[in-house]
Amino acid sequence: MRIELAKGAPAAPDSPALGGAPHGSKPRSLRPGMAALTLGALGVVFGDIGTSPLYSIQTVFTADNNAVGTSPDQVYGVISLVFWAITLIVSVKYVSFILRADNGGEGGIMALTALVQKLNFKSVRSKVILVALGIFGASLFYGDGMITPAISVLSAVEGLKVSAPGLSDFVIPVTIAVLMVLFALQRYGTNLVGNLFGPVMTVWFLVIGATGAVELAGHPAIFKALSPTYGVEFMVNHGMIAFIALASVVLAVTGAEALYADMGHFGRAPIHRAWFFLVFPALTLNYLGQGSLILRSPSSISNPFFLLMPGWAQFPMVILATVATVIASQSVISGAFSVTRQAVQLGVLPHMTIKHTSEHEVGQVYAPMINWGLFAAVVALVLGFGSSAALASAYGVAVTATFVLNTVLFLAVARVMMRKPRWLIAVGAVVFLTTEIAFFAANLTKVVHGGWLPLLVAFTVFTVLITWQRGRQIVTPNRTALEGPLRAFVDEVDAMDPPVHRVDGTAVFLNANLETTPLALRANVEHNHTLHQNVIIVSAMTEKVPHVDESERCTFDDLGHSDDGITHLTLRFGFMDDPNIPQALRLAAQHPDAGQIHGLDVDEVSYFLSRMTIVRTDAPGMRRWRKKLFMTLANNTSSPVAYFGLPSDRCVIMGAQVSV
């Protein structure tokens, strides 16, 4: 039976509290061996950056009507900039430093933002600004999630123009077909193709490294480009042309954020080993090979990656490249699901349907609304831009802005949490921020040519996130005032004369605030004059760590009365965990400290939820348009019944109004 009062009322934005545990809530099993983890990291972590050779060098030399020439000094300069960009940003910054800043083993800009929230700054304003920057960085990720599948798959299929020119007209249809299959498979989870990722990407890196090495064996002069002096001379001697080139050079390091974001799946050591032993050498050889090819055949700038292959290998390489770019796209799409989930559980996005696709792997989730929204955006980008070269103009802005924000947040964590000396922080700021701000400034020249797109997406998402966050900050106190103190309410119930009528059974009332009374519980007593024999008030709390061990999941409180059948149960989850209240109740019922609820039959429990109707007022705090946006978001939140895994036939939803 499900009784619903106040039909159509939106769920309270913070009730019940966000939180959760992995499906099954089983302790993590021991991780597989280092070799298996390294192979897995090759398939998931390096897909994006590993497929950058498909389009990055081509874009450098063809952008802005071939502004960058093919003279030896310019080719050496470009390859030098590419090599040192990868070295500084990926090898030094991410692999050597930022991977050390984990939040309970998890990485990514949302985890870095959670670390910042824990820091004690002298100025509250500093923390607010840094957290806002972190939220904006997460917003940029959605722009990246739109562009990466489009540019990656499109650049791979464009190999048909080289290997089979007669099929050039099929590039767009084939790209859309591949993308359609990719997004349709998301509902089945990454396990469907995950076992193929590592071996395929291993073959990919071996092949692109080998093709570069073959070219270098005959024309080794390009090795001179490994000296940073060629990059510096190119910047000094070619001024604006070199500045324009920077906007495309940065495409060689797209996907670097994945090294950090996917750290929780594999750990720092496997990522470190895969990068330095295979990925970095293979990329270096391939970029050097493309540079050598351009030196001896300037016309190859039309597609140096595929022209580096012998004719017989070009069509098979199109197939391998398409598979590799699907893998690269998969990692970004999965990342978008993970960022969405973290944002929901950190309270900057409303509840939405997020499904687990594996009972064994933490973090494998599927968000239908995000999936199909991304698909529509990706198809629109493919049709609207038409080529990977055109899409490259829109790509760099989001990537470089994310680099800058990650560096700023990391330096704050390194200074305050890791207590690194000021001089070391200053050196890091000079080395990394100077480089990354230069890349970002160069990409700003592309804003009018498509770079506006990821910025528009980021600002739109950012507006939604901070509006939801601010709305919750306003609504929560108003709701708290309606609920009243929990202990005072329990004292009143126990002091009633005659006592309140008790009915058989167990009622669970979900409430976000540990200190206040669930509105459904208050209404039950004040209006229905009844109370179940056993009452459990559940508060599900989200900690600022990825995972909470089962042994620390439950906290019990008899609220000062050990024999009245009323128990407060606090459930703690990490922001990477999946909520499941019935499962947590089973765990709690077996706990030695369970007291009045020990041995509870969870299958016979009735669940009571409070559903809020948001009413707009003229009170200060947010502009009217933001209040309208907040109410729209509140009206479209997913049901807490599904979110917390509650049996819908045993739920009672009661409504109330709260102002914003």
Give the residue-averaged pLDDT of 121-145.
85
DSSP code of residue 554: E
Kind of pairing between the strands at 566-574 and 554-557 = antiparallel
DSSP code of residue 103: B
Tokens of 219: 């024309």
* Spatial separation of the C-alpha atoms in residues 345 and 364, rounded to whole Å: 15
Backbone angles phi, psi at 267, to 5 degrees: 90, 165
More confident residue, 390 or 431: 431
Q: pLDDT for 517-546, tens place per residue?
A: 888 888 888 888 888 888 999 988 877 676
Same domain, 39 and 170: yes
Tell whether 469 is covered by a domain: no
Same domain, 276 and 377: yes
Angle at which helices 191-218 and 280-296 pack, to 10 degrees? 50
Q: pLDDT for 415-444, tens place per residue?
A: 888 888 999 999 999 999 999 999 999 888
Alpha helix positions (H), 86-227: 109-118, 124-157, 160-163, 171-184, 191-218
Same domain, 651 and 537: yes
CA angle 227, 97, 41 (to 5 degrees): 90
Predicted pLDDT at 279: 94
Same domain, 442 and 489: no
Same domain, 516 and 397: no
Same domain, 399 and 521: no
Tell whether 2 is covered by a domain: no
Q: Does position 605 have pLDDT exceeding 60, yes or no?
A: yes
Same domain, 167 and 285: yes
Tell whether 24 is covered by a domain: no
The amino acid occupying position 195 is: N
pTM assigned to the model: 0.75
Instruction: Write down the residue that tokens 């000396």 correspond to.
Output: 421
- The CATH number covering residue 249 comes to 1.20.1740.10
Predicted pLDDT at 223: 94
Tell whether 642 is covered by a domain: yes
* Spatial separation of the C-alpha atoms in residues 247 and 393, rounded to whole Å: 8
Same domain, 636 and 488: yes
Q: Please give the residue range of the domain that contains residue 489.
A: 482-659
For residue 314, the tally of other CB atoms under 10 A from its CB is 18
* Band (30; pLDDT cuts 50, 70, 90): very low
The answer to whether residues 593 and 624 touch, using CB atoms and an 8 Å cutoff, is no
Instruction: Write down the residue that tokens 């309208």 correspond to.
Output: 628
Same domain, 531 and 443: no
* Spatial separation of the C-alpha atoms in residues 554 and 145, rounded to whole Å: 37
Tokens of 54: 């498909």
Same domain, 338 and 204: yes
Alpha helix positions (H), 484-596: 486-495, 519-526, 581-589
Tokens of 28: 């993590």
Count: domains in the chain: 2
Same domain, 503 and 396: no
Predicted pLDDT at 10: 32
Q: Exposure of 79 by Cβ count < 10 A (0-12 exposed, 13-18 middle, 19+ buried)?
A: buried
For residue 356, the tally of other CB atoms under 10 A from its CB is 20
* Spatial separation of the C-alpha atoms in residues 403 and 439, rounded to whole Å: 10
The answer to whether residues 465 and 654 touch, using CB atoms and an 8 Å cutoff, is no
The answer to whether residues 47 and 330 touch, using CB atoms and an 8 Å cutoff, is yes
Q: pLDDT for 86-105, tens place per residue?
A: 999 999 999 988 888 877 76
Tell whether 244 is covered by a domain: yes
Point out the domain boundary residue: 408, 432, 449: 449
Which of 380, 399, 372, 344 has its CA nearest to residue 140?
399
Angle at which helices 311-345 and 191-218 pack, to 10 degrees? 130
Point out the domain boundary residue: 405, 424, 449: 449
